[in-house]
Amino acid sequence: MYDTDGYREIYSMDISPPCIDTMKNRNLERRPSLIWHVMDCTNLQYEDEFFDIVIDKSTVDCLVTGNNAYKKVAKMM
């Protein structure tokens, strides 16, 4: 999306600080306007309707493997 379609204001988040640090550093030169946040997807710190679209890359897969899985997925959505 960034490289081929011109989208520049892309937010990425993960619950893992090392993951965010690694990805931020990996993309700093080629994709400087990407926005990175350490955050729990079941407790987002954005206003309602902040995003136009959300693309999930495997988060639901991770959430459905534990206790109260469907509640966690519903909270994320």
Q: What's the pLDDT tens digit per position in 53-68?
A: 877 777 666 666 767 7
Confidence of residue 70 (pLDDT cuts 50, 70, 90): low
State the Cα–Cα distance between residues 3 and 8, nearest whole angstrom. 9
pLDDT band at 4 (very low <50, low <70, confident <90, very high): very high
- The burial of 61, by beta-carbon neighbours within 10 Å (0-12 exposed, 13-18 middle, 19 or more buried), is given as exposed
Tell me the average pLDDT across 2-23.
94
| Location of structure tokens 């400087």 | 32
What is the longest distance spanned by two Cα atoms in the chain? 40
Q: Is pLDDT above 80 for 33?
A: yes
